[in-house]
Amino acid sequence: MELTVAITGASGTIYAHRTLQLLAASGAVGTINLIMSDTAATVAQVEMGVNLKDPSAEKFNKWLGLDSGSKLIRYWRLDNLAAKPSSGSNRQAGMIIVPCSMGTLGAVASGAGTNLIHRAADVCLKEGRKLVLVPRETPYNAIQLENMLRLSHAGARILPACPGFYHRPKTIDDLVEHLCFRILDQFDIPHSKKSQWTGEEADNG
């Protein structure tokens, strides 16, 4: 499977980090086309203390704990509109934008994209491929909600960064993984079932 993953400047870099790690460990993904917005590196530095400026596949491999020679990550510059994800003739399963800023969400909803993230998302919509957006903002204003509805009507899946608690998380990692597992579910990618609801009734005794 080939997927495109985009990281934007919304808060929540940790979601991108763990999603990429889970995709890499799944055995179901052979290529990840990775794109990063201009502000994503700044947010990653603030939230995770990682330097993703002047990015490269090698730098992402180190960040994700992959072998230095791993070919899983294919990094594409934001201004490279000739990149593989910009064309519908490049066959792939779809795209994940995690986290998704409101600016990126609005650009994709309007169809007036100006960079590779916008274009790659537009390609997924026009080709009927899965597009999963993980917005991380609160509260939402009316414009943002209307943009989400417009994208949902166009075929995108809106998956807000709202982890559940029914699996009784004990750490931040538990919360993060719960959401990332839901992202993987959209593409039927295998993962741990530890946070999956089983339907068991609570013990009232």
Indicate the pLDDT class of residue 56, thresholds 50, 70 and 90: confident
Indicate the helix (H) or strand (E) that contains 27. none
Which residue bears the tokens 């009927």? 128
Q: Is residue 56 part of a domain?
A: yes
Q: What is the DSSP code (8-state) at residue 86? A: G
The residues pairing with 76 across neighbouring beta strands, listed in sequence order, are: 35
Task: State the residue range of the domain holding 82.
Answer: 2-185
Q: Is residue 61 part of a domain?
A: yes
Q: How does strand 2-7 pair with strand 94-100?
A: parallel
Which residue bears the tokens 């230095």? 68
The per-residue pLDDT of the chain, averaged, comes to 93
Total of domains in the chain: 1
Q: Is residue 60 part of a domain?
A: yes
Q: Is residue 202 part of a domain?
A: no
Strongest mean pLDDT among 65-69, 92-96, 192-196: 92-96
Cα(51)–Cα(76) distance, integer angstroms:
17
Cα(185)–Cα(69) distance, integer angstroms:
28
- In terms of Cβ atoms closer than 10 Å to its own Cβ (0-12, 13-18, 19+), residue 186 is middle
Measuring CA to CA, how many Å separate 83 from each of 79, 116, 121, 173? 9, 8, 13, 33
pTM confidence score: 0.93
Q: Is residue 204 part of a domain?
A: no
Q: Is residue 129 part of a domain?
A: yes
Q: Is residue 205 part of a domain?
A: no
Indicate the pLDDT class of residue 203, thresholds 50, 70 and 90: low
pLDDT per residue over 173-185, tens digit each?
999 999 999 999 9
Would you state the pLDDT for residue 205? 47
Measuring CA to CA, how many Å separate 188 from each of 29, 42, 48, 157, 183? 11, 32, 28, 14, 9
Q: pLDDT over 90 for what percent of the chain?
A: 84
Cα(112)–Cα(198) distance, integer angstroms:
43
Q: With CA atoms as reference, report the closest residue to 3 among 26, 25, 27, 23.
A: 23
Cα(55)–Cα(72) distance, integer angstroms:
15
Q: Is residue 191 part of a domain?
A: no
CATH number of the domain that 124 lies in? Answer: 3.40.50.1950
Q: Which residues of 36-64 are buried (b: 16+ CB within 10 A; e: fewer)?
A: bbeebbebbeeeeeeebeebebebbbebb
Indicate the pLDDT class of residue 191, thresholds 50, 70 and 90: confident
Indicate the pLDDT class of residue 161, thresholds 50, 70 and 90: very high
